[in-house]
Amino acid sequence: DAMVIQNPRYQVTQFGKPVTLSCSQTLNHNVMYWYQQKSSQAPKLLFHYYDKDFNNEADTPDNFQSRRPNTSFCFLDIRSPGLGDAAMYLCATSTGRVGGYTFGSGTRLTVV
Amino acid sequence: GNSVTQMEGPVTLSEEAFLTINCTYTATGYPSLFWYVQYPGEGLQLLLKATKADDKGSNKGFEATYRKETTSFHLEKGSVQVSDSAVYFCALIIYNQGGKLIFGQGTELSVKP
């Protein structure tokens, strides 16, 4: 089945140690998104790629970076994770047209 | 600006009760409207959608009608099950304004046997 896959499901990292989360899709969608969701809150958009064009939300911290080497893969890099970065990170894709987003199962990040 | 407001949770119901989760929106354009469901520890799943006024989205016994006159997209189900316990998010997209999915704050539903 075509889908959005996030790895790993659970990630534990040390305070200040760089960490990378990955997302892949078999839907061939143009647009890929990264959301941060903290406990009991709505997901918050960090950035998105429309094809190779990168779009950063104004309030996304500089600590967060992203790479999209090809259509299928997108990575979220957290350069120096702090305790406040512990959250569920959701990847999503869309065609950019009517139909909504398809979300992955998420990666739950714990910072120790 | 564009925003979504949902009724506050948690909502606690007995099995087979009727469910309504209210959702209203503010939009400067013509949004498409969505309900997403999130089960504990999982990502978001699209539950249903409606792309224009008076459309009714439906899936798994859930329904919502796009009401432009009241700017609402309330979620309903006639008889809830324990397995419906989850957090429900109402959301909108305006495709000619960058296509960003804008979420409401989420409503937690707990269904008791």
pLDDT, tens only, B46-88 = 999 999 999 999 999 999 999 999 999 999 999 999 999 999 9
The pLDDT of residue A15 is 96
The pLDDT of residue B42 is 86
Question: What percentage of chain B reaches a pLDDT higher than 90?
Answer: 81
Contacts 24+ apart (CB under 8 A), A55-61: A55/B98
Distances in whole angstroms, Cα of residue B52 to Cα of each of A18, A71, B93: 44, 30, 12
Confidence of residue B30 (pLDDT cuts 50, 70, 90): confident
Flag if B45 and A31 touch (Cβ within 8 Å). no
Q: Is the pLDDT of residue A100 over 80?
A: no
Residues in B touching A40 (Cβ below 8 Å): 106, 108
Q: Is the pLDDT of residue B13 over 80?
A: yes
> Smallest Cβ distance to A104: which of B36, B43, B95?
B43
Residue of B4, B2, B43 whose CA lies nearest to B24: B4
Flag if A96 and B95 touch (Cβ within 8 Å). yes
Flag if B99 and A104 touch (Cβ within 8 Å). no
Q: What average pLDDT does range B30-54 have in this prediction?
A: 92
Q: What is the pLDDT of residues A23-75, one digit of tens each?
A: 999 999 999 999 999 988 899 999 999 999 999 998 999 999 999 999 999 99
Three-class secondary structure of residue B58 per DSSP: strand
Residue type, A9: R
A76: β partners? A21, A66
> Smallest Cβ distance to B103: which of A43, A97, A106?
A43
A74: enclosing H helix or E strand: strand A73-78
DSSP assignment, residue A92?
E
B105 touches chain A (CB under 8 A): yes
The pLDDT of residue B98 is 66
* Burial class for A39, CB neighbours closer than 10 Å (0-12, 13-18, 19+): exposed
In this structure, the strands spanning A107-111 and A10-13 are parallel
Q: How far is A41 from chain B (nearest CA, A)?
A: 6
Residue of B57, B91, B98, B73 whose CA lies nearest to B20: B73
C-beta separation of A19 from A10 below 8 A: no
**Beta strand residue intervals within B27-73, DSSP E:** 32-38, 44-50, 56-59, 62-65
B51 touches chain A (CB under 8 A): yes
Residues in B touching A45 (Cβ below 8 Å): 100-101
Q: Is the pLDDT of residue B12 over 90?
A: yes
The pLDDT of residue B97 is 62
By CA distance, what is B42's nearest residue in A?
A105
Residue type, B61: G
Question: How many helices and strands in chain A, by DSSP H and E?
Answer: 0, 11
